[in-house]
Amino acid sequence: MPQEIFSYLPLIAVVIPLISFVMIMCAKDLAWWRNAWSLTGSTGTLAAVAFMYQHLSLGQALIFKVPMIVTPYNFFFRVDEFGFLIALITSFIWLAATIFALEYMNHEENRGRFFAFFMLTLSGTVGVPLAGDLLTLLLFFEIMSLASYVLVVHTQTEEAFSAGNLYLYLGVFGGMCLLTGMGIFYYNAGSLAITSQAALMEGLDSYYIAAAVLMILGFGIKAGMVPVHIWLPRAHPVAPAPASALLSGLMIKAGAYGIIRIISMIYTPDSSTMVMETLSSGAVNLWNQVSEAGYIIIWFGIATMFFGAFLAVIQNNIKKLLACSSISQIGYIIMGAGVGAYMGYDGAMGVGGATYHIFNHAFFKSTLFLAAGAIVYLTGELDIRKLGNLKKKMPFTAVVVLIASLGIVGMPLFNGYASKTLLHHAIVDAYAYNNVYALYFAEWIFTLTSAGTVCYFLKFLYFTFWRPAPGDQEGKVIKTEPILMKVGMGTLAVSMVLIGTSPYFVLNNLVGPTLNAFVLDSYLVQYFLDINLFYLSDLVAVALALVLGAVLFYLLSKYTNIFNLQIPHWLGLEYHGALIGKLAVLLWGFITLPFVAVQDLFGALSDFLYKRVFLFLQNVDYRPGEAAIFKSINISNIEFDMVLVIIALSLILTIAFYLRFGLTLFGF
Scored b (16 or more CB within 10 A) or e, 436-474 reads eeebeebbebbbbbbbbbbbbbbbbbebbbeeebeeebe
Distance separating alpha carbons of residues 128 and 148, to the nearest angstrom: 14
Nearest to 388 by CA among 455, 475, 452, 493: 475
Query: 255 near 222, Cβ under 8 Å?
Result: yes
* 363 to 79, 96, 366, 368, 464: CA distances (angstroms): 22, 10, 5, 9, 21
pLDDT above 80 for 563: no
Q: Name the pLDDT band for 606 (thresholds 50, 70, 90).
A: confident
pLDDT above 80 for 568: no
pLDDT above 80 for 239: yes
Query: 466 near 557, Cβ under 8 Å?
Result: no
Q: Name the pLDDT band for 72 (thresholds 50, 70, 90).
A: low
What is the side-by-side order of every strand in the sheet holding 3-6? Answer: 3-6, 60-66, 75-79
Range among 254-263, 465-474, 570-579 with highest mean pLDDT value: 254-263
What is the model's pLDDT at position 472?
59
Higher per-residue confidence, 235 vs 352? 352
Q: How many CB atoms lie within 10 A of CB 605?
A: 10
pLDDT above 70 for 250: yes
Concatenated DSSP letters of 342-354: HHGGG-HHHHHHH
62 forms beta bridges with 5, 79
Angle between helices 252-261 and 111-130 (to 10 degrees): 10
Pairing of strands 3-6, 60-66: parallel
Q: Is 622 helix (H, G, I), strand (E, B) or coil?
A: coil
Q: Give 424's Cβ-side CA count (13 Å radius).
A: 26
pLDDT above 60 for 574: no
Residues in contact with 191: Cβ distance below 8 Å, sequence separation at least 6, in sequence order:
197, 199
* Burial grade of 433 (CB within 10 A; 0-12, 13-18, 19 or more): middle
Q: Is 6 helix (H, G, I), strand (E, B) or coil?
A: strand
Distance separating alpha carbons of residues 659 and 645, to the nearest angstrom: 21
Distance separating alpha carbons of residues 369 and 236, to the nearest angstrom: 9
Distance separating alpha carbons of residues 85 and 100, to the nearest angstrom: 23
Q: Give kind and range of the element (H or E) at residue 595.
A: helix 593-619
Distance separating alpha carbons of residues 290 and 268, to the nearest angstrom: 7
The helix, strand and coil proportions of the chain, stated in percent and rounded to the nearest 5, come to 80, 5, 20
Residue 265, amino acid: M
Angle between helices 348-379 and 415-434 (to 10 degrees): 140
Residues in contact with 293: Cβ distance below 8 Å, sequence separation at least 6, in sequence order:
212, 263, 267, 341
Distance separating alpha carbons of residues 668 and 209, to the nearest angstrom: 44
Higher per-residue confidence, 612 vs 146? 146
Higher per-residue confidence, 278 vs 328? 328
Q: How many CB atoms lie within 10 A of CB 58?
A: 10
Query: 407 near 506, Cβ under 8 Å?
Result: no
Distance separating alpha carbons of residues 365 and 382, to the nearest angstrom: 16
Section 62-70 average pLDDT: 76
Q: Return the biggest CA–CA distance within the chain.
A: 110
Q: Is 63 helix (H, G, I), strand (E, B) or coil?
A: strand
pLDDT above 50 for 332: yes
Distance separating alpha carbons of residues 491 and 140, to the nearest angstrom: 28
Residue 551, amino acid: V
Q: Is 5 helix (H, G, I), strand (E, B) or coil?
A: strand
Instruction: Tell me phi and psi for residue 109, to 5 degrees.
Output: -90, 170
Distance separating alpha carbons of residues 405 and 411, to the nearest angstrom: 9
* 391 to 386, 477, 618: CA distances (angstroms): 15, 13, 83
Cis before 227 (ω within 30) = yes
pLDDT in tens, 368-412: 999 999 998 888 888 888 888 888 888 999 999 999 999 999 899
Distance separating alpha carbons of residues 32 and 38, to the nearest angstrom: 10
* Burial grade of 435 (CB within 10 A; 0-12, 13-18, 19 or more): exposed
Least confident of 98-102, 286-290, 344-348: 286-290
pLDDT above 80 for 549: yes
Distance separating alpha carbons of residues 57 and 461, to the nearest angstrom: 41
Provide the whole-model pTM.
0.83
Instruction: Tell me phi and psi for residue 137, to 5 degrees.
Output: -60, -45
Q: Name the pLDDT band for 569 (thresholds 50, 70, 90).
A: low
Chain centre distance of CA 143: 11
Outline where 4-154 has alpha helix (H). Answer: 9-26, 31-50, 53-56, 81-104, 111-130, 134-152
Q: Is 195 helix (H, G, I), strand (E, B) or coil?
A: coil
% residues pLDDT > 90 (the chain): 32
Instruction: Tell me phi and psi for residue 276, to 5 degrees.
Output: -80, 155
Q: Give me the residue spans of the domains in the chain.
A: 3-271+283-566, 568-617, 620-668
Section 30-37 average pLDDT: 88
Q: How many CB atoms lie within 10 A of CB 116?
A: 25
What is the model's pLDDT at position 351?
92
Please state, rounded to an integer, the average pLDDT across all residues of the chain: 83
Instruction: Tell me phi and psi for residue 455, to 5 degrees.
Output: -60, -50
Distance separating alpha carbons of residues 358 and 360, to the nearest angstrom: 6
Q: Quick one: CA dihedral 171, 177, 183, 189, positive or negative?
A: negative
Residue 78, amino acid: R
Q: How many CB atoms lie within 10 A of CB 122?
A: 33
Distance separating alpha carbons of residues 443 and 466, to the nearest angstrom: 33
